């Protein structure tokens, strides 16, 4: 087996992992502990945000080891920290292109060409959405794509709920939700259920479920939380309003396999084909893990398990082909994991005119009126996964600009008045101010380069 010391990185990676959900990070933890120094490309905008579907879930109560549950984004922070602690390197960007037709394989990310002897694809699947009016605002506030993850949310207890879809997932979720809700409306766009007979029978026999045949949801309403939906009966063209507190989509998932089309064998459903219960794909040295190759179970824990299998399989394959380059660390024990910093609200006492990043309305008011530097304001809410993703990216931008730009975080739950004045409609929102003037607003998660390009322009104009 070849060996390499820490400073002497091989030009060809042992293992690249694409995807940063439970499958990707578990694969990284195993491969890093096997001293393969994996490179993990997190994904960024395409196919969902880094951290995957758990980043848009609130409480995860079925992941073993957390008896009182854990927030989805927190669970992903822990997995990420564990992967990094053991030596995983991260590229926080989308993988733009892969070439699996040559060995070593090629992956392009952040405009860099990366060569690797093995590859684990853990790009996940995106739950399909209806894209209703009102949906974005109420996502995770009554609207969800995972009843098993979110069904037990306290706000839903004893309330009327609805599920959209007629497949096995929809039927299973409708039955599951009767444990929590007073009644479940199953909204099916056709005249029949697509679900398996036994699953359909369970639904039809359950007096707590009523099926709305030939029906579609056309609108969701609510302010802080979903309060009602409008359902159109396609036969009569009549619209009926249902007062519900939870709306669950079970209208299928789309695996994130666009990058691999025509390079790997995909099933008709576009999921990556692997041997039953195994991670090997149709290309030797390429493995798949998690939802991208699992159309059935699709749980965080099953994804993590398959990530473990994929890493062990990749390690065995690299060893058998005599391709593994063991990367020794100078330290016997790695340092303790670093978790993201939580910063306290800035007050008059701890305010600094030159601080890179502060929190709350006090620093915002001071900087807005007194600073002649650009100010990046990020509006967040405590359980917002995408905010969690964006904050460290913005911090890196501020560090890169070495104090030329300052940042302030506004928690819109704590500073409602500010959020209202700034006309914030969702989190994360980022606004850039210069000399009391709003120069630009961004909604959702964006790549660092997008912010940096704009800031560079503004600084150039300012100094001209
Ligand atoms: P499916 O693709 O099987 O079903 C999707 C359902 O959503 C269909 O009823 C479809 O309607 C409906 N639908 C799709 N798009 C829309 C839309 N825009 N508006 C309204 N309705 C829509 O997905 P599932 O997630 O249910 O299942 C995926 C796979 O996983 C299947 O193989 C299933 O058997 C399996 N599974 C098995 C389980 C089990 O055995 N316990 C549990 C869950 C899933 P239409 O029928 O009209 O196309």
For the beta carbon of residue 1, count every other beta carbon within 10 angstroms. 10
Is the CB–ligand 1 distance for residue 378 below 6 Å? no
Is the CB–ligand 1 distance for residue 167 below 6 Å? yes
Q: Kindly report, residue by residue over 424-455, the tens digit of the pLDDT.
A: 766 788 999 999 999 999 988 888 889 999 99
What is the percent of the chain with per-residue pLDDT over 70, rounded to a whole number?
Answer: 96
Res 339: pLDDT: 84
Res 7: pLDDT: 42
Is the CB–ligand 1 distance for residue 190 below 6 Å? yes
Is the CB–ligand 1 distance for residue 189 below 6 Å? yes
Looking at the structure, give the CATH architecture of the domain made up of residues 2-126+253-328. Answer: 3-Layer(bba) Sandwich (3.50)
For the residues 78-106, what does the mean pLDDT come to?
A: 96
Which of 146, 149, 308, 387 is flagged as catalytic?
387
Inform me whether the pLDDT recorded for 382 exceeds 90.
Answer: no
Is the CB–ligand 1 distance for residue 146 below 6 Å? no
Catalytic annotation present for 308? no
Mean residue pLDDT across the chain = 92
Rounded CA separation 428/444 (Å): 5
Nearest residue (CA) to ligand 1, atom 14: 251
Bridging pattern class, strands 105-109 and 95-99? antiparallel
What's the CA-to-centroid distance between 425 and ligand 1, angstroms? 32
Res 23: pLDDT: 98
- Comparing 9-13, 30-34, 211-215, 296-300, the range with the smallest average pLDDT is 9-13
Rounded CA separation 74/202 (Å): 35
Rounded CA separation 173/171 (Å): 5
Is the link from the previous residue into 104 a cis peptide, with omega within 30 of 0? yes
What's the CA-to-centroid distance between 207 and ligand 1, angstroms? 22
Res 310: pLDDT: 98
Question: What is the best residue among 190, 252, 291 to mutate for testing ligand 1's pocket, by most ligand atoms within 8 Å of CB?
Answer: 252
Inform me whether the pLDDT recorded for 148 exceeds 80.
Answer: no
Task: Tell me which CATH code domain 129-249 carries.
Answer: 3.50.50.60
Q: Which atom of ligand 1 is nearest to the CA of 192?
A: 46
Q: Please classify residue 353 by burial: count the beta carbons closer than 10 Å to its beta carbon, then call 0-12 exposed, 13-18 middle and 19+ buried.
A: exposed
Name the phi and psi angles at 206, rounded to 5. -95, 115
CB 132 within 8 A of CB 219: yes
Q: Kindly report, residue by residue over 235-261, the tens digit of the pLDDT.
A: 999 999 999 999 999 998 899 999 999
Inform me whether the pLDDT recorded for 4 exceeds 60.
Answer: no
- Comparing 6-20, 36-50, 65-79, the range with the smallest average pLDDT is 6-20
CB 440 within 8 A of CB 454: yes
Domain 357-463 falls under CATH 3.40.30.10? yes
For the residues 357-375, what does the mean pLDDT come to?
A: 96
Is the CB–ligand 1 distance for residue 164 below 6 Å? yes
What's the CA-to-centroid distance between 169 and ligand 1, angstroms? 6
CA dihedral (155, 159, 163, 169) in degrees, to 10, reads: 70
Is the CB–ligand 1 distance for residue 127 below 6 Å? no
Q: Kindly report, residue by residue over 205-225, the tens digit of the pLDDT.
A: 999 999 999 999 999 999 989
Q: Kindly report, residue by residue over 127-145, the tens digit of the pLDDT.
A: 899 999 889 889 878 998 8
Is the CB–ligand 1 distance for residue 314 below 6 Å? no
For the residues 339-364, what does the mean pLDDT come to?
A: 92
Catalytic annotation present for 171? no
What's the CA-to-centroid distance between 301 and ligand 1, angstroms? 21
Give the residue range(s) of CATH 3.50.50.60 domains in the chain.
2-126+253-328, 129-249
Res 253: pLDDT: 85
What's the CA-to-centroid distance between 62 and ligand 1, angstroms? 22
Give the residue range(s) of CATH 3.40.30.10 domains in the chain.
357-463
What's the CA-to-centroid distance between 50 and ligand 1, angstroms? 26
For the residues 283-299, what does the mean pLDDT come to?
A: 95
């Amino acid at each position: 087996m070849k060996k390499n010391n820490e400073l002497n990185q091989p030009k060809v990676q042992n293992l690249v992992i694409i995807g940063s959900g439970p499958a990707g990070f578990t694969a990284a933890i195993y491969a890093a502990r096997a001293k393969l120094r994996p490179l993990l490309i997190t994904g960024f905008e395409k196919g969902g945000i880094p951290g995957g579907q758990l980043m848009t879930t609130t409480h995860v109560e079925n992941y073993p080891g957390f008896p009182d549950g854990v927030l989805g984004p927190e669970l992903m922070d822990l997995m990420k920290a564990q992967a990094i602690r053991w030596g995983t390197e991260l590229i926080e960007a989308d993988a733009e292109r892969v070439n699996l037709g040559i060995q070593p394989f090629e992956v392009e990310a952040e405009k860099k060409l990366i060569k690797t002897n093995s590859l684990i694809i853990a790009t996940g699947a995106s739950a399909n959405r209806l894209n209703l009016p009102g949906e974005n605002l109420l996502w995770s506030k009554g609207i969800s794509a995972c009843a098993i993850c979110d069904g037990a949310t306290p706000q839903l207890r004893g309330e009327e709920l609805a599920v959209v879809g007629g497949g096995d997932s929809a039927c299973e979720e409708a039955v599951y939700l009767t444990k929590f809700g007073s009644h479940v409306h199953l909204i099916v766009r056709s005249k029949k259920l697509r679900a398996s007979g036994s699953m359909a029978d369970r639904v039809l026999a359950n007096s707590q479920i009523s099926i709305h045949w030939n029906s579609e949801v056309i609108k969701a309403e609510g302010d802080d939380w979903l309060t009602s939906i409008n359902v159109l009966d396609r036969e009569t063209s009549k619209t009926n309003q249902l007062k519900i507190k939870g709306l669950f989509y079970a209208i299928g998932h789309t695996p994130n396999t666009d990058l691999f089309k025509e390079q790997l064998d995909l099933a008709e459903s576009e999921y990556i084909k692997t041997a039953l219960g195994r991670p090997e794909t149709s290309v030797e040295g390429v493995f798949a893990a998690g939802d991208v190759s699992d159309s059935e179970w699709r749980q965080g824990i099953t994804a993590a398990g398959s990530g473990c299998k994929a890493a062990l399989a990749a390690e065995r394959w690299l060893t058998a082909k005599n391709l593994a380059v063991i990367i020794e660390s100078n330290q016997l024990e790695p340092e303790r994991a670093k978790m993201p910093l939580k910063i306290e609200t800035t007050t008059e006492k701890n305010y600094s005119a030159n601080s890179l990043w502060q929190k709350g309305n006090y620093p915002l008011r001071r900087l807005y009126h007194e600073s002649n530097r650009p100010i990046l304001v990020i509006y967040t809410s405590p359980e917002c996964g995408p905010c969690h993703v964006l904050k460290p990216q913005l911090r890196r931008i501020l560090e890169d600009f070495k104090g030329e730009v300052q940042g302030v975080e506004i928690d819109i739950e704590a500073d409602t008045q500010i959020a209202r004045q700034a006309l914030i409609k969702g989190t994360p929102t980022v606004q850039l101010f210069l000399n009391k003037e709003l120069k630009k607003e961004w909604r959702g998660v964006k790549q660092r380069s997008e912010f940096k390009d704009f800031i560079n322009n503004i600084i150039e104009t300012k100094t001209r």
